[in-house]
Amino acid sequence: MPAANAIGEAGSVPATLPATPTFGTLALRWYRLNRGGLRATAVGIVSLLAFLLVWHLLTTYRVVFFVRFTNVPSPLAVYASFTKAIHDPKFLMHIVLSCRRILVGFSLAAIVGVPLGLIMGRFKLVHEIIFPVAEVLRPIPAIAWVPMAIMLWPTNEQSIVFITFLGSFFPILINTLHGMSLVDPVLVRAAQCLGARERSIFRDVYFPASLPHIFTGLTVGMGVAWVSLIAAEMISGQYGIGYFTWEAYSLVQYADIALGMIAIGVLGLGSSMLIRGAGQLVMPWRSR
Amino acid sequence: MSEIIAKAPQGHIEVRNFSLSYDSIEGPVQAVTDTQIHVQPGEFVSIVGPSGCGKSTLLNAVAGFLKPTTGMVTVDGEKVNGPSAERGMVFQQYSLFPWKTVRENVEFGLKMRGMPRSQRERAARTLLGLAGLEAFEKHYPEKLSGGMKQRVGIVRALATGPKVLLLDEPFGALDAQTRVIMQQILTNMWQRLKISVLFVTHDIDEAIFLSDRVYCMTARPGSIKAEIPIPLERPRQQSMMMSSEFLALRRGLMSLIREESIKAMGGELTDMGMQGLNIELHGHSLADVI
Ligand SMILES: Nc1ncnc2c1ncn2[C@@H]1O[C@H](COP(=O)(O)OP(=O)(O)OP(=O)(O)O)[C@@H](O)[C@H]1O
Ligand SMILES: [Mg+2]
């Protein structure tokens, strides 16, 4: 909607508002303030429905045009297997297990990565010792670690969690370091003139100043954690949503392939929303 | 107020035989040389000088952020050995903690001193009230105007009851009207607290209006070129800036600084150019010109 239009309508608001707003005026004001958000929601729903429709048409008519939709399940078939799956304890167990691996691997990465980044950012020598090793290991994709992880860890479960950990660890570490390097020195000086010692400078200046970048790292790390987890489950898993998706392919359960993919998408979306929510809770000064 | 900030007449700053040079790849850069200044307890002293003459360097050494190359800085006879809450500082850049509300910013120094929460909340509220900021105590700095940010910065620096307050061009980024209001607020707080102030500025009017004494520095390497007492009576009103006494002081300081600014610019300005500058300067501060 063009901005001029919005201004024109705002201009037509009576100059003096009634002293006690009626429900009608309140609703109208709420609508004015949230018009942008409402439109985004409406457009979003329409676009998702359009996606479903296109998917439906492509699969019903088994379109072959470079890509072959011959065996691709239709949305209705996927929905049918979804209704079946939610009553199937095995499917739920796949999801619970994947979530648990993410929770453990990602939490460990955050618990190790954030403090390590903070310490490396503050103490040059620690940085000089650890950074080269991190730089050498960082470009290795977590999937390339699968054989090594299987050798390193006694159980399959542990090696999958390890790979999830690795995937999220480096984004978290690097972003924390980046945040530390951008801390405004004037704020450190201001704290020093107010009597802050090393410990409180760390806690009250360096840490909160780095938080926005730490949360960027956590968001990116969560994404990579899912990528790594699914790959690891497909290769070496016995359970988990990645394994479920791969198994569906082996068993020619085409509808389940799409179901697995959608489940992975929803879980990934949900976990990054959780992190964004946590970020808003922890950094109230940044919410607007 | 007096129970928040206990005050005995103290805060005697003494800078003796001071010089400071920075290390750089081309060798040492002499920023300040052979400088003596002092601030008596409760005195308001300004430092003016051309850009790059070492005003911030000098102030940062008094704050304890820089070590003098030669000479020394003492406050009440004690050698300055690093930053401390005894010397409050207000910076030219906004330096409030963005993650703390206005009141939490003001409380920070008190928290560092180990004051219990309820007590420091009360102290911060009182101080914010004096600066007319009580309505903003729960705001985050991002939502404040520039003038308000600097006001909170001053309140924060004063909250711990420092012996001296150091200000490095605190109003440099503010518009002319806000600047005048800030000068009044600073004067009021200074008179209430009887604290020693060392104030760095580009603005000659500001220096004269605020100070008991003004040091004028030479171009780099900076040293003290002149020390000018400002015998204007207090309380001072904005209208005083038109008085003949004020204008005479202003003319004196202006010509001192002009010589140094020309040196700082490499003495490239011709006499003709200077005539132009001379006319321009009426009604403008030096900061507007250089
Ligand atoms: N870290 C540094 N390394 C090398 N030279 C420096 C450093 N900091 C400042 N200088 C130089 O020292 C001189 C004095 O700097 P200073 O910041 O004290 O000047 P100033 O009077 O505060 O200037 P301004 O009015 O522009 O703020 C300048 O010429 C500057 O280039
Ligand atoms: Mg400076």
Contact B221, B33 (CB under 8 A): yes
Residue B91 has pLDDT above 70, yes or no: yes
Mean per-residue pLDDT, A140-165: 94
- Residue A12 resides in a domain: no
pLDDT tens digits, B187-198: 988 988 889 999
Q: What is the mean pLDDT of chain A?
A: 91
State whether A35 and A86 are in the same domain: no
Mean per-residue pLDDT, A126-137: 94
Tell me if B91 and A200 make a contact (CB, 8 A cut-off).
no
Residue B10: left (phi > 0), alpha (psi -120 to 50), or beta? beta
Q: Please give the pLDDT value at position A20.
A: 74
Residue A17 has pLDDT above 60, yes or no: no
Residue A5 has pLDDT above 60, yes or no: no
Integer Cα distance of A272 and A264 in angstroms: 12
Q: Please give the pLDDT value at position A22.
A: 85
Q: Is the CB of B29 under 6 A from ligand 1?
A: yes
| Range B2-86+162-289 has CATH code 3.40.50.1820 | no
**Residue whose entry in the numeric block shows the structure tokens 């001192």:** B256
Measured between CA atoms, how close is B208 to chain A, in angstroms? 27
State whether A88 and A208 are in the same domain: yes
E runs forming strands in chain B: 13-22, 29-39, 44-48, 70-75, 78-79, 87-90, 164-168, 196-200, 213-217, 224-229
Contact B223, B34 (CB under 8 A): yes
- What's the one-letter identity of residue A191? A
Q: Please give the pLDDT value at position B251.
A: 94
> When comparing pLDDT for A11 and A23, which is higher?
A23
Cα within 13 Å of Cα(B8), Cβ side: 2
Residue A181 has pLDDT above 80, yes or no: yes
- Residue A219 resides in a domain: yes
State whether A56 and A126 are in the same domain: no
Which domain CATH number covers A265?
A: 1.10.3720.10
Q: Is the CB of B54 under 6 A from ligand 1?
A: yes
Predicted confidence band of residue A91 (pLDDT cuts 50, 70, 90): very high
- CB < 8 Å to B103, chain A: none
Integer Cα distance of B90 and B151 in angstroms: 10
Q: Please give the pLDDT value at position A19.
A: 64
Predicted confidence band of residue B117 (pLDDT cuts 50, 70, 90): very high
pLDDT tens digits, A41-73: 999 999 999 999 999 999 999 999 899 998 899
Closest residue, chain A, to B165 (C-alpha): A193
Q: What residue spans in chain B does CATH classification 3.40.50.300 cover?
A: 2-86+162-289
State whether A148 and A260 are in the same domain: yes
Q: Is B176 helix (H, G, I), strand (E, B) or coil?
A: helix
State whether A180 and A261 are in the same domain: yes
**Residue whose entry in the numeric block shows the structure tokens 């004067």:** B187
Q: Which residue, among B104, B106, B108, would best test binding to A if mutated, counting the most A CBs under 10 Å from its CB?
A: B108
Q: Which residue, among A194, A280, A286, would best test binding to B if mutated, counting the most B CBs under 10 Å from its CB?
A: A194
Predicted confidence band of residue A6 (pLDDT cuts 50, 70, 90): very low
Q: Please give the pLDDT value at position A7.
A: 41
State whether A146 and A26 are in the same domain: no
Residue A241 has pLDDT above 70, yes or no: yes
Q: What is the pTM assigned to this prediction?
A: 0.84
Mean per-residue pLDDT, B128-134: 88
Q: Is B230 helix (H, G, I), strand (E, B) or coil?
A: coil
DSSP string for B10-36: ---EEEEEEEEEE--TTS-EEEEEEEE
Integer Cα distance of A76 and A61 in angstroms: 14
| Those residues with Cβ within 8 angstroms of residue A3's Cβ, 6 or more apart along the chain or in another chain | none
- Residue A1 resides in a domain: no
**Residue numbers of the domain that contains A38:** 22-72
- Residue A59 resides in a domain: yes
User: How much of chain A, in percent, has pLDDT values that exceed 70?
Assistant: 93
Tell me if A194 and B85 make a contact (CB, 8 A cut-off).
yes
State whether A104 and A188 are in the same domain: yes
Predicted confidence band of residue A18 (pLDDT cuts 50, 70, 90): low
Predicted confidence band of residue B288 (pLDDT cuts 50, 70, 90): very low
CA B9-B14-B17 angle, 5° bins? 170
A212 CB neighbour count, 10 Å cutoff: 18
The strands making up B13-22's β-sheet, listed across from edge to edge, are B29-39, B13-22, B70-75, B78-79
Those residues of chain B whose CB sits closer than 8 Å to some CB in chain A are 63, 65, 82-85, 87-89, 91, 93, 95-101, 108-109, 112-113, 140, 142, 156-157, 160
Q: Please give the pLDDT value at position B118.
A: 94
Residue B289 has pLDDT above 90, yes or no: no
Last residue of a domain, one of A38, A72, A106: A72
pLDDT tens digits, B31-48: 999 999 999 999 999 999
pLDDT tens digits, B210-240: 999 999 999 888 999 999 999 999 989 888 8
- Residue A61 resides in a domain: yes
Phi, psi for residue B232 in degrees, rounded to 5: -65, 140
Phi, psi for residue B60 in degrees, rounded to 5: -65, -30
Mean per-residue pLDDT, B266-287: 45
User: How much of chain B, in percent, has pLDDT values that exceed 70?
Assistant: 88
Closest CA to A168 of A123, A115, A228: A228
pLDDT tens digits, B142-189: 999 999 999 999 999 999 999 999 999 999 889 989 999 999 989 988
